Every structure is written in C-alpha cells, then in structure tokens.
Amino acid sequence: EEEVHDHSSELPVYLFQTDDVVLHGFEAQLAWQATDELKATFLADYVRARLKDGGDLPRTPPLRFGTQFSYETSRLSAHLDIIRYQQQDRIAEFESVTDGYTLVDASVSYDLPIANQDIALYLKGSNLTDTEARVHSSFLKDIAPRPGRSFALGIRGYF
C-alpha cells in the first residue's frame, strides 16, 4: 500500500541556477535648485532583463519615475516625494503580473535649540494615498504588500 504525503503546509523549496542574460537599462536624475531653500529632483530608472535564450528574468523591478521636492532653511526642512512604479508584466515562469502604483510620502522636521544639542521635532507621513503596493522583486509580494498609510510624530536627537 502506497503512503500519501501531504506537504502543502511546508515551506516551498526553490532551485536557483545561473544563465546568460542580456540587461539594458538606464538611471537618470535631474536636480534643480530653484532658490536657496527650494530644490526639485526628478528621477527615473529602468532595467530590461532577458535570458539570452529567450524569456524574462524573474523578479525584475518595473520602470520607476518620480519627483522629490525639498524645502530647507536653517531650522525647518520639508519634503514631498511622489514615486510611480509601473506595472510589471514582463514576467518569468511561475511569476504573476504586478500592478503599478504611486506612493506619496511627506515629512516636516524642525530643529529645536535646546542646550546646544541636535534635537528635532518631526512629522512623517508615508503612503498618504493608502495605495495597495506590491513590490515585484519580493518573494512575499502576494502575501505581504507594502504598508498602508502611516504617520509618525517624534523627537529625534543626535548625540
């Protein structure tokens, strides 16, 4: 009598192997210092990863582009980041398409003049639009998306 084994609750086993690949891509960043306090940065990056014998390389990040705006004085700094991740549909066997998403983050920090110490009061907001975001290069993308909207208020000290 043949014994049946159910391994569905066990961890998956992966076998990785190397192969010849062809990579094409770019990374670009343009910074514009509009005033002494205001700076705008525009960025983009992309990689096209193919197996030399045909097919797409797994877990390749999609096209990403965005802007970062910064306002900084001697005591105050404020930042707004807007980054777009395009859909990744150039996928390998056993992968699934990852939808595109846009993340919006903002932060404000104010340096406090307390007893000659480097102390700052800050407020930070992440994923302000509460977008469901899944990182294509993550092994856990289907079960663990990026965190939703969050806020942090705190005091930071440098010693």
pLDDT tens readout for residues 88-116: 999 998 899 999 999 999 999 999 988 78
Structure token digits, residue 151? 């806020």
Would you list the DSSP string of 7-38? -TTSPP--------EEEEEEEEEEEEE-SSSE
CB 73, CB 92: distance < 8 Å: no
Tokens 């004085």 belong to 73
Calpha distance 133→83 (Å, rounded):
12
pLDDT value at residue 1: 62
Calpha distance 120→139 (Å, rounded):
37
Amino acid at 134: R
pLDDT tens readout for residues 53-102: 889 999 999 999 999 999 999 999 999 999 999 999 999 988 999 999 99
Structure token digits, residue 150? 């969050």
pLDDT tens readout for residues 19-32: 899 999 999 999 99
CB 23, CB 48: distance < 8 Å: yes
Structure token digits, residue 45? 């990056």
Q: Using the predicted structure, report yes or no on whether residue 130 has a pLDDT greater than 80.
A: yes
Q: Using the predicted structure, report yes or no on whether residue 16 has a pLDDT greater than 90.
A: no
Residues above pLDDT 90, as percent of the chain = 78
pLDDT band of residue 3 (cuts 50, 70, 90) is: confident
